[in-house]
Amino acid sequence: MKIVVCIKQVPATNDAKIDPETKRIIREGLKAILNPFDTYAVEEAVQLRERFGGEVIVLSMGPEKAALSIREAVSVGADRGVLLSDRAFGGSDTWATSYALANAIRKIGDVDLVICGKQAVDGDTAQVGPGIAAHLDWKQATYVMAVEDASDDSIVVKRMHEDGYDICELKLPAVVTVVKDINTPRIPTLRGRLASEKIEVPVWKPADIGADLSKIGLDGSPTRVVRTAPPPPRNTVTKKISGTSAECADALIKELRLRSIL
Amino acid sequence: MRVNDDKQKNDYSNVWVIAEVLSGKIQPVTHELAGTARMLADKRGSEVWIVLLGNNVSEQAGTLFAYGADKVLVADDGSMANFNDEIETRVLVRMIDKYKPEIVICGATTRGRALIPRVAVVTDSGLTADCTELDIDPENGDLLQTRPAFGGNIMATIRCSDHRPQMSTVRPRVMKAPDPDPGRTGEIITENVTVSDKIDIKRILEVFHSSEAAVNLADAQIIIAGGRAMKGPEGFDILRAFAARVGGAVGASRAAVDAGWIPYAHQVGQTGQTVQTKVYIACGISGQIQHLVGMQSCDLIIAIDKNPDTPMMQMADIAVTGDLFEIVPALTAAIPKL
Ligand SMILES: Cc1cc2nc3c(=O)[nH]c(=O)nc-3n(C[C@H](O)[C@H](O)[C@H](O)COP(=O)(O)OP(=O)(O)OC[C@H]3O[C@@H](n4cnc5c(N)ncnc54)[C@H](O)[C@@H]3O)c2cc1C
Ligand SMILES: Nc1ncnc2c1ncn2[C@@H]1O[C@H](COP(=O)(O)O)[C@@H](O)[C@H]1O
């Protein structure tokens, strides 16, 4: 099975601090990490290769330094990676991003399965996976919590819904997006680390993937951010309650009534 | 479609809502979005259409007029009994090509977030996820879509000036449902599902509906969440009792989920769900950043913890210092039965 995993490098919230005034995260100076959901996508692909054979190729679109995330994926078992990086890709929204990734998947060729994370934690849209499936006109399954079975021409997955789950069979090629429940990502081995340092990460430009320049970057993005603003600030005073448990419960009830919640 | 001028834009009119149907029933998010659609359509002098896709859903079509719909577009077919992204995409794309809506809004549910991105690509439309506010430019119909990004740390306003239709998803409980007006009526239009819509789709082999409604974090007004402090699966019983009393849902930190005390569907945070409820009660959750990004946009945050100095206790609107195993049951007992 030839599997492509789409991975994105995102700002880390791990070492973020909270602004005491606004009670929001301080964003400046955060380092970049592999999108947490994508670590499950990589692990699932590696497990599928271990069971059914084949190859795992990670694909990312982003700045040059996103190659680090590709190396990270190789250190935990991916075979190789490709980076789409060029100024012309900059400013892509999810439509244009999924167009570029779909073109790259076509160029990689003979791909059976594409695995994405459920969503990227910076944009939180969850739109790129289904977008890729639409551009390729492949089948899709989102919020996948387990791969039950796979064969040369189909895959059986368990999808999470608000009110339960379902199990469905998709003919390949297909795109799936995965949630955290699906597996426990492994930690890199020494051999994996060494391999990840040695690999070459080819960088593809729009021409390499036959991208129509009017469909990538800002020009290719139907949506435009016209304004950004800080969110309405949270109240800056914390109401403190303590005492015996009964007193605490009473005080809380009073607060809830005051706010017409009870 | 890319549109180059106002004349081309004017080929598109009306505000559509894609109804959310779960276990055969229209969900409240549909009514919430109908209210918003009504506001947008009124500013623009156009109509609200609700698209109802599913199996045996036609009888419910008439109930939607009371919430502001002018027309209900129904496709009722056995092939849509369970969620089949590919069929629903084909049916919806055909409706869009035929009737040319200016705006399409859909719930940011697991189904909506799978379906609409696919439809947006096929119809070459702009799509904005998880909007918290929608407004319209009455002159040219441009939708002004505001959404939180990066865990709620910035609010971005997004416009899509040269594509039609314009699409957005909105989370349940973000917009307010209008009071139903039983006197309103409208027109029901039925569309067919063709044989070719059903070619080469996925096969749904098994469906399981959870009886535990308390999982539905997206739909809840009040979430009470527990962390490592719950000590085990039984610990969550006191949270369930509280949730049952107020009609809320139970959330959890990753620590509790990883320990296997409660299923992943309950996890709030960076690798779980992002929630935006009226009230979030964190019980014994220290408030590591990965948890906070999933719940910091809730209106009222209450923390209960032994330790008054945790990040959660610092950021909460109300911080209760004490033992949750005593306070939560006392709280539940003090709330009159609904
Ligand atoms: C990539 C990544 C992604 C992550 N994603 C998530 C995520 O999506 N969601 C998430 O929640 N975490 C996530 N985490 C984990 C996160 O960093 C924390 O480890 C986790 O949230 C801690 O859970 P907790 O607050 O329940 O436990 P703890 O930090 O151990 O806090 C327990 C709290 O309970 C209090 N307590 C104990 N007993 C009592 C009692 N009887 N009464 C009252 N209070 C009591 C303690 O004082 C303490 O404050 C992620 C981590 C990483 C690295
Ligand atoms: N720039 C990108 N490069 C590679 N994969 C991406 C990129 N953006 C998004 N993805 C994939 O799409 C998923 C959903 O992202 P999003 O739609 O941005 O929330 C991510 O988990 C990745 O698997």
Strand order in the sheet with A239-241: A239-241, B318-321, B300-305, B279-283, B222-226, B249-252
CA dihedral B11, B15, B20, B21 (to 10 degrees): -70
Q: How far apart are CA A92 and CA A221, in angstroms?
A: 6
The closest alpha carbon to B216, from B57, B293, B109, belongs to B109
d(CA B133, CA A88): 31
Residue showing tokens 């429940």: A181
Q: Which residue has the tokens 């001028």?
A: B5
Cα separation of the two ends of chain A: 56
Judged against a pLDDT cut of 90, whether residue B170 lies above it is answered with yes
Ligand at shortest distance from the CA of B270: 1
Average pLDDT over residues B149-167: 88
Tokens of residue A23, six digits: 């009670």
B274–A239 C-beta distance less than 8 A: no
Q: Is the pLDDT of residue B210 over 80?
A: no
- Residue boundaries of the structural domains of chain A: 2-215
> Among A2-16, A144-158, B102-116, which stretch is predicted with the lowest mean pLDDT?
A2-16
A168 contacts on B by Cβ (under 8 Å): 202-205
pLDDT of residue A210: 97
Distance between CA atoms of residues B27 and B164, nearest Å: 27
CB contact under 8 A, A24 and B334: no
- Per-residue pLDDT averaged across B227-249, rounded? 94
Which atom of ligand 1 is nearest the CA belonging to B312? 49
Alpha-carbon distance of B269 to B275, in angstroms, equals 8
Confidence of residue B331 (pLDDT cuts 50, 70, 90): very high
Q: Which domains does chain B have, with CATH numbers?
A: 6-198 (3.40.50.620), 217-334 (3.40.50.1220)
The confidence band for A14, taking pLDDT boundaries of 50, 70 and 90, is: low
pLDDT in tens, A178-201: 999 899 999 999 999 999 999 999
Residue pLDDT, tens place only, B58-75: 999 999 999 999 999 999
- Sole residue written with tokens 């955290």: A180
**A18, B314: Cβ pair inside 8 Å?**
yes
What contacts B137, CB < 8 A, 6 or more positions away? B143, B144
ipTM above 0.95, yes or no: no
DSSP assignments along A121-188, one per residue: TTT----HHHHHHHHHT-EEEEEEEEEEEE-SSEEEEEEEETTEEEEEEEESSEEEEE-GGG--PPPP
Residue window 265-284, chain B: list those with CB within 8 Å of chain A.
265, 267, 270-272, 274, 278-279
Ligand 2 binding pocket (C-beta < 6 A) is: A 6-8, 35, 37-38, 41, 59-62, 94, 97, 101, 116-117, 119-120, 123-129
User: CATH number of the domain at A2-215, out of 3.40.50.740, 3.80.30.20, 2.40.50.220, 3.40.50.620?
Assistant: 3.40.50.620
Q: Is B194 at the interface with chain A, CB within 8 A?
A: no
Question: Rounded CA gap, B35 and B282, in Å?
Answer: 31
Q: Give the A:B interface size as CB pairs under 8 Å.
A: 276
Cβ-defined contacts of A76-79 (< 8 Å, 24+): A76/A39, A76/A42, A76/A43, A76/A46, A76/A185, A76/A186, A76/A187, A76/A188, A76/A192, A77/A42, A77/A43, A77/A46, A77/A49, A77/A186, A77/A192, A78/A5, A78/A42, A78/A45, A78/A46, A79/A49, A79/A55
- A59-116: pLDDT as tens digits: 999 999 999 999 999 999 999 999 999 999 999 999 999 999 999 999 999 999 999 9
Helix, strand, or coil (residue B146): strand
Q: What is the mean pLDDT of residues B132-142?
A: 93
Q: What is the pLDDT of residue B302?
A: 97
Supply φ then ψ for residue B109, to 5 degrees: -100, 180
Contact B3/A at CB under 8 A: no
Nearest-by-Cβ selection for B118 from A140, A166, A223: A140
The amino acid present at B299, given as its one-letter code, is: D
The string of pLDDT tens digits covering residues B5-58 is 888 888 999 999 999 998 889 999 999 999 999 999 999 999 999 999 999 999
A235 touches chain B (CB under 8 A): yes
At A59 the pLDDT is 98
Instruction: Please say whether the dihedral angle defined by the alpha carbons of residues B317, B294, A162 and B26, taken in this order, is positive or negative.
Output: positive
Contact: B272, A180; criterion CB under 8 Å:
yes
Confidence of residue A3 (pLDDT cuts 50, 70, 90): very high
Residue B338: per-residue pLDDT: 55
- Residues 6 or more apart whose CB falls under 8 angstroms from that of A75 comprise A188, A189, A192, A193, A195, A196
Q: Determine the distance separating the centroid of ligand 1 and the alpha carbon of A159, expressed in angstroms.
A: 27
Q: Is B98 on the interface with A (CB under 8 A)?
A: no
Give the pLDDT of residue A121: 85
- Ligand sitting nearest the alpha carbon of B327: 1
pLDDT at B214 over 50: no
